[in-house]
Structures are given as structure tokens and as C-alpha cells.
A and B are shown apart, each in its own frame.
Chain A
Amino acid sequence: MATVDLKDVRKIYPSGVEAVKGVSIAIPDKELCVLVGPSGCGKSTLLRMIAGLETISAGTVAIDGKVVNAIGPTERDIAMVFQNYALYPHMKVYDNMAYGLRNRGTPNDEIDSRVRSTAKVLELSALLDRRPRELSGGQRQRVAMGRAIVRNPKVFLFDEPLSNLDAKLRGQMRIEIKNLQRSLGVTSVYVTHDQLEAMTLADILVVMNAGLVEQTGAPLDVYEKPASTFVASFIGAPPMNLLALTGASPSSVLADGTVIGLAPRQGKAVTLGFRPEDADITFATEAPAGALALPATVEAVEPVGAESFLHCVAAGSRIVVRVSGRASAKPGDQLRVVARSEKLHWFDQAGKRVD
């Protein structure tokens, strides 16, 4: 049970590359913090610095209020689940799970009871005598989780633990991880590049880009109020539609000269965004008042079953509209894409959100 506090953490490699450029995150006790971002954004480096596998160039990492910069991974009392599971190939499942405890000098009967009870929770009891290569991907993943849980550490660290599983198993394991983490009540840091995993798992979502935190917050807050164009296009699938603006308020002008009678309440916006599910299509020529109504041409329709995605061209940009059920439009149709003004997002020159 512990908090994790990062204060202005930086990582500068000897080559001069700055992978993490000053990150501060406070993770309360028992919460699951997800670091999400594209590859190379520094999220894994950050996790490895919390683990003690990378040195910290500047700033402090504190676990349970204690600065751990100078402490090795063993003494930090953390457990880590790796992307490739990193199970010891020559050891049985039992020994894989017991290894960390043995190294800490835990008495044998306690090791035995802890391994067996953890195995029961993870439904691994029947597999304790197998070796990792005799297990399926999902089972290996469970063993890797078990190895972390059995140690009863202060903090769990997950480094893209589901990326080697197939889509169905990934969904299943995602729910299991969430449930386990909640029931064990262990503070966790979870790194992923998958925004869906990030949204569903996180108590605190941290979106990273190029070594910096773009936004921190509850997943739905981040989704509803993205702080920058980067977050807007990274969180959500399909991503938010972003249209460049040329004219100034009160009437914004789109790149192709279309004038829309809307503008942010304050500040100057150069980008307008709306989510595919916040838009709708209409064949009516009358624009509803107080809403965005973009003339658009349908390029492609993707029916997924419960919903359909319309890929359209509007004002010279490609946009996506999500409609539920079957789409009433077909490729080549001219129509209007409508979005209510309160569902619009505005971003300024620096890509930051303006309201």
C-alpha cells in the first residue's frame, strides 16, 4: 500500500538524447495509473525509472513518501510484469513464482502457502508443475502476474503486458487485471500504447508525448476535454476529426473558405475538432441554429454492425462520422455533417485547448 510521486523526473542518456523531459505525477494509494502514448514518448523509460532499472538523471521518484532514486530495484519493493513475460524458461511455474520470495529468505512453508493461494486466485493451480514453454500465451501472462502478486509488493508495474496476446484474450485479461488490482488494492503503474486499454483500466490517465505529459486526469475527463490536439487525436477510436481554421472569431473560416458562424468563447482558435460520435448526418439543406453544419461528400461507408463509420471529405479534410446501425448514406452522397456547438473543441496555435 503506497503512493508513488514523481517530481520533475528527467532521463538524459549519455548520448545526449532526452527521453523524459521533466514529468511530475502523483499517484494516490491503491490507484491504477496508466501511462499512454505513441512509441518513443518516454513512457517505458519512465516506468523503468520507477522500477529502478534505469538511473534517474534529474528529479525524484518517491514510493510511499520515501525517495528511492538511489535504491536498487530489489529494495524498492516493486513487482513488474514484462511485455514478453520474462518467465524463467528452465523453472516450473511454481518455482517461477517462488523465486523472488526465496531470494528474500521467506520461510519455505510461507512460500508454499503464498504460491498456492496466488495460483488459486489466478486459476493456475493445475499448472504449477509445468514449464513456461508448455503454457499458452494467456497462461504465461497469468504466471507473470502471479509472480508479481505473490510477492505482495508496494507497487505493481506493468510494461505493455497484453500486447503479445490476441484480441479476444486481451479483452479478457484487461478485465481480470482491473479486478485483481482493485481487489488487491495495490498501487499500480501501467504502460500501454493502446488507448482502449488505457481508457478502460485507468483511474488516472497520463497521456505522454515526446517525453512530456500532455494531460493527466480521469479517463473520461481526458476524453471529454482533451487538453491538446495531440490528446484529441490519440484518445478515442476513430480519433477526433480536426479541421484547420483560417479566419478569426466571431466567424471562423475553414481552410476551403467555408464560413461557420461559431467560435470559442475566448481566445483565438486555429483548429476545430469534434468526435465522430458527436456528429450526425442530414440531407436537409437548412443548417440548424447554434450547430456546425459542414457540406460533405461521402467517400466510403464502413458498416461494423452496431454502428457504421462514414468517411467523408469536408472542407478539404477527411472526417469520420459514426452513426448507429445501418448508414442511410452511400458513397458519393452529398450531405451535411452536423455537430452541436457544445460538442465542439477548439485549439489554439500551440495546439492547446481553448474554451
Chain B
Amino acid sequence: MIGQSPLRTFIAHAVLILGILIVAFPIYYTFVASTHTLQTILRPPLPLLPGDQLWNNYSEALFGGIGRIGGVSVGRLLLNTTIMALGVAVGKIFISILSAYAIVFFRFPLRMTFFWLIFITLMLPVEVRILPTYKVMVDLGMIDTYAGLIVPLIASATATLLFRQFFMTIPGELVEAARVDGAGPWRFFFDILVPLSRTNIAALFVILFIYGWTQYLWPLLVTNSNDMNTIVIALRKMVSFADADTQWHLVMVTAMLAIVPPILVVVLMQRWFVRGLVESEK
């Protein structure tokens, strides 16, 4: 802005800092709670500064196994959730980039019908089709498997639409130049289309990884055994209705650990995709 007065700068910063405090404080408090013993947490007020139990609590949760969820360690939960989130993100991107490729660059009968079929599934959230999907998973014996966790969530109309929109901005001349240069459909896809879509792929990956990470309803249904649970489900199971039963310090540790991978993905991929944005040009 032009001609900023010091007062304006001060107010702007004050508002921003206040906002950050409001957002960050609950996370900080969770962290504080995760470094105290259960006794300290249950005896109010909870201290505002971290305690000395950080190492004990985290190692117990990560490697020791937690009683209320059948002795499964948080490490195992993180692994399950990572596999599921990666599977969903990669699977969705793979399927949708291929279907968008078919819809945009090939002329085949019922092309638009297929496009609309995909489009219509946008209006059909997972929850609506959850019972039939569950039945199918049971019949296929995919309960308590990674495939059961991942496959039903892979079809993605949103990602297909996004890739379609991007592909439609690719100039026809580029496609023709590739044809004249002797690039068949697969070569064109891998040599030209995929590299040009890097930015979109990175952005989608971030969004879809977090989508997979935070899934609740479907993992709840499709996993019965404790060692196939995702971290979100396990967190829910760890909290008992009777306050005294709940090992709050471990719940807090698990909550802290559960937000680390999504943060990592955002931070690491952000670089990628900012670079992609700066470099992109058609």
C-alpha cells in the first residue's frame, strides 16, 4: 500500500498477531499437556509451560503401545495413516490424470457421457454410497486391509475436472507439434503432459494427502482390528467417557504426532509448488 502510516502498520500487525495467537494457542496448549504427567493434567489448572515428561510420554506412545486401543503403538497408527493417505493421494491423481487425458485428447463414442458420469459423482459424497460400498468390501474380503481403506476413496471427480480444465488450456499447436515430432499418445502423455502438469500434481497431492489423512467415517467402518486403525480413529477410541479412564497425556501426544505429517507435506510441497507456479508457462 502507498503512504502507510506507522499507526496503520501497528494496527495491521496487532490484528495479525492476535489472529496467530488465537489459532496457535490451542496447539501450544496441546503440546504443553503432552509434556506433563497424567496427574498434573487432571489437577487443574494446567500449567502454561511445558513439563519434564516430554521424552517419557512420547516414547511410551510411539513405541510402548497404548492400552485403551489394544496395545497398538502410535508408530503403527502413523504408518497405517501414511499408507492410506499416500495411497489415496497417489491413486486419485493417477486415475484422474488418465481419465482427464482420455476425455480431453481423444475422440471416442460417448465421450461426453463419460465426462458427465464422472461429473455427476461430484454430487454423490462418500457417505451416501457408504453402505453399498461397505457390502462390496465385505464380499471381497477387504475389511481390515490397506486396499479396503484406499480403493473406495480413489475415484475423484474433482481432480479429474481440475486436470481437464488444465489440459484444455494446452494449445492445440503443442499437441500437433508433438504429433509431427513423432510422439505417440503415451510419449505425449509422459514427455509433455505430465511435466507440464507438475504444478497441478503438487497442489493436488497436498490437498488429497490431507483429505486422506483426516478421513474418519470410512476407516471407522472398514477397520475392525486395532492394528489397522488410522490415527484419527485411534484418537477417538482413546478418549473414554469417564474422565479418569482416559490417559490424557498420551491422547495429547498422539494428537501432536497426528498433525506432524500433514504439516510436513504442506511445508515440503509448498516449496515445490511455488517453484512450479513461478516457472510455469505455456
Contact = CB atoms under 8 A, between A and B. Distances in A.
| B is a partner of A | yes
A287 interface: no
Interface residues of A, number: 25
Interface in B171-214: 171, 173-174, 176-183, 187, 191-192, 195-196, 198
A99 B179 contact: no
A103 interface: yes
A90 B192 CA distance: 8
Interface in B266-282: 281-282
A100 B191 CA distance: 12
A99 B195 CA distance: 14
Interface centre among A78, A82, A147 (most CB of B within 10 A): A82
A45 to B, nearest CB: 13
A312 interface: no
B181 A90 contact: no
Contacts of A133: 281
A99 B181 contact: yes
A73 B192 contact: no
A99 B180 contact: no
B187 A103 contact: yes
Interface string A91-107: 00000000110011000
A182 to B, nearest CB: 23
A86 B196 contact: no
Contacts of B282: 89
Contacts of A99: 181, 183, 191
Contact of A100 (B171, B180, B196): B180
Given A103-B181, A103-B187, A133-B281, A82 B196 contact: no
A87 B179 CA distance: 13
A223 B177 CA distance: 34
Interface residues of B, number: 19
A52 B171 CA distance: 18
A74 interface: yes
Contacts of A88: 174, 177-178, 191-192
Interface centre among B171, B173, B198 (most CB of A within 10 A): B173
B196 A53 contact: no
A89 B180 CA distance: 17
B179 to A, nearest CB: 5
A72 B191 contact: no
Interface centre among B177, B191, B195 (most CB of A within 10 A): B177
Given A79-B180, A99-B183, A100-B182, A89 B281 contact: yes
B180 A84 contact: no
Q: Is the interface of B mostly helix, strand, loop or mixed?
A: helix
A82 B173 CA distance: 7
A73 B183 contact: no
A82 B182 contact: no
A79 B181 CA distance: 8
Contact of B182 (A83, A87, A89, A104): A104
B183 A51 contact: no
A86 B195 contact: no
Given A86-B171, A86-B174, A80 B180 contact: yes
A133 B196 CA distance: 14
Contacts of B183: 99, 103
B171 to A, nearest CB: 6
B273 to A, nearest CB: 15
B179 A74 contact: yes
A191 to B, nearest CB: 13
A80 B178 CA distance: 10
Contacts of B281: 89, 132-133
Given A84-B171, A86-B171, A53 B181 contact: no
A83 B172 CA distance: 11
Interface centre among B182, B192, B196 (most CB of A within 10 A): B182
Contacts of A104: 182
Nearest to A132: B281
Interface string B161-173: 0000000000101
A75 B148 CA distance: 47
B173 A83 contact: yes
A14 to B, nearest CB: 11
A99 B178 CA distance: 9
A314 to B, nearest CB: 46
A86 B176 contact: yes
Given A89-B282, A90-B195, A84 B179 contact: no
Interface string A133-165: 100000000000001000100000000000000
Contacts of A73: 176, 179-180
Contacts of A90: 192, 195-196, 198
A100 B181 contact: yes
Given A53-B176, A82-B177, A89-B196, A103 B171 contact: no
Contacts of B180: 51, 53, 73-74, 78-80, 100
Contact of B176 (A82, A87, A151): A82
B261 to A, nearest CB: 30
A51 B175 CA distance: 13
Contacts of A53: 176, 179-180
Given A88-B177, A103-B187, 6 more contacts: A78-B180, A88-B178, A90-B192, A103-B183, A133-B281, A147-B177
10 contacts: A51-B176, A53-B180, A72-B179, A78-B180, A86-B174, A86-B176, A90-B198, A99-B183, A103-B182, A133-B281
Interface of A: 51-53, 72-74, 78-80, 82-84, 86-90, 99-100, 103-104, 132-133, 147, 151
Q: Which 9 A-B pairs have the closest CB atoms?
A: A100-B181, A103-B182, A86-B173, A86-B177, A74-B182, A90-B195, A82-B173, A133-B281, A73-B180
